[in-house]
Each structure stands twice: as structure tokens, then as C-alpha cells.
Amino acid sequence: KAGVTQTPRYLIKTRGQQVTLSCSPISGHRSVSWYQQTPGQGLQFLFEYFSETQRNKGNFPGRFSGRQFSNSRSEMNVSTLELGDSALYLCASSLSTSGRKNDYEQYFGPGTRLTVT
Amino acid sequence: EDQVTQSPEALRLQEGESSSLNCSYTVSGLRGLFWYRQDPGKGPEFLFTLYSAGEEKEKERLKATLTKKESFLHITAPKPEDSATYLCAVRSSGTYKYIFGTGTRLKVLA
């Protein structure tokens, strides 16, 4: 079974620009979560989507947004990029369906390394 | 407030020298404690899920245990290839969010 894929893997943008990152979950997984990882802050939760609806949200400004499509693929968008947005952006998917214990195990993609100059 | 604290921040071991990593948590209702391994520049790799105090899981040289306030990841006779950052996360039944610790950077010397 194919794992979580993220595109692009690397991205360099300039302050003020916007960026869109893409995530394809494991087949059959309906929940997709996004995280920002930086050396100083560790893994910070951005948001979670389930069945095309945002189910949960972290403490990030409105410049960070996302969406999920009917095939569970997800995109996140960052507008008006700032230098501090430079980070590894990780996507994770889980079954998150019936409430069985293992349904909430998250599997991560390789990440997109975003550099803002 | 839900919180996860991992210790130590960094650990250097000689090959074969067993040790334990700690993950302390405060959460409004635990809906799972998860351990991950992360290699530099890669996404975290899922290792274990624990749900209730007293539960234990094993995989090769790794064994994870859970109490009501903390989890331990025991590494028995580690090898250099076990060098990585080990992350702990909890899922809260109050918020249904996943909260991650900042990780333990493990270096195993040959």
C-alpha cells in the first residue's frame, strides 16, 4: 500500500508571496492533518480535515488555510509569506472512521521543506 | 492545558548500552499515546500506540510502556542505526487534537 505523498518536496519563496502544498493520504484514509515543524518549536498542529470538513484547528493565523477534496487529498495554503514561515510542513493521514483504537494512528508523509527569503 | 514533555532532550549511548526515554503528559482524557521515530529531513515514522495504563508494546529492540502520567520507550542493546529523534504524542479526548513533545535526539555510537 502506498504511503502518504507530499508535493513539492522543496520550495523557495519570497516574503509576501503565497504557496500551496499538496498531500495525498494513504488509500482509504479519510482524515488528513497538517503540521509545521521547526527546530525551535517542534511539531505544531495546523489543522485536520475529515470528509472535506475542517474538524480541528491549531493556533495559527488566518494566513494558513486548507481544504480537502472528495478523494481525501488535501491542500494547504499560506498567503503573505513571512520569514518565520520557513519550516518543514508535514501531512499525516489516519483512518479515523469507526472509532476503533487503531483508526487514530497517524502516518506521515516525507514533508515539504519551505524556505522563505 | 494539554501538554507533553520529553526527556532527555539528547542522549548519547554506546552500542549495546540499554536506556529509556521518557514522555510525561497531562491531557484531558487520553485517547492514545503514540511514539514515532524521525530521521533528519524525513517525516516521522509510526512505531507504537498505547491506550491504557499498564499496556506494553514491543518491536525489535524497542519496548513502549504506559502509566497514567508517563510513557517510557526502552531501547535494549541499541545499534548505530537506532540513532534518530524519537517523538511522543498524545491525542486528547477533550480537543481531539494530537499534541507532540519536542523529542529526544538519540545518538548510538559504534
Q: Report pLDDT digits (tens) over B91-101.
A: 988 777 889 99
Q: What grid cell was written down for A46?
A: 495546523
Q: Kindly tell me if the per-residue pLDDT of A25 is higher than 90.
A: yes
Q: B78 falls in which pLDDT band (50, 70, 90)?
A: very high
Q: Kindly tell me if the per-residue pLDDT of A102 is higher than 90.
A: no
Q: A103 falls in which pLDDT band (50, 70, 90)?
A: confident
What residue of B is the nearest CA neighbor of A111?
B43
Q: Kindly tell me if the per-residue pLDDT of A92 is higher than 90.
A: yes
For every residue of A61-82, DSSP letters joined together read: -TTEEEEE-TTS-EEEEE-S--
What residue of B is the nearest CA neighbor of A102?
B49
* B43 to A105: CB separation less than 8 angstroms, yes or no: no
Whether the CB-CB separation of A112 and A35 falls below 8 Å is answered with no
Q: Kindly tell me if the per-residue pLDDT of A77 is higher than 80.
A: yes
- Mean pLDDT (chain A, rounded): 93
Instruction: Name which of B46, B98, B99 is nearest A107 (Cβ-Cβ).
Output: B46
**Chain B residues near residue A92 by CB distance under 8 angstroms:** 43
For an interface test with B, the pick among A24, A37, A43 (most B C-beta atoms closer than 10 Å) comes out as: A43
Q: A101 falls in which pLDDT band (50, 70, 90)?
A: low
> What would the mean pLDDT of A60-85 be, rounded to a whole number?
97
What is the tens place of the pLDDT at every residue in B21-47? Answer: 999 999 888 889 999 999 998 999 999
What residue of A is the nearest CA neighbor of B85?
A42
What is the tens place of the pLDDT at every residue in A40-71? Answer: 788 999 999 999 999 889 999 999 999 999 99
* pLDDT > 90 in chain A, percent: 83
Whole-number Å distance between alpha carbons of A36 and A48: 13
> What would the mean pLDDT of B38-60 be, rounded to a whole number?
94
A94 contacts chain B (CB < 8 A): no
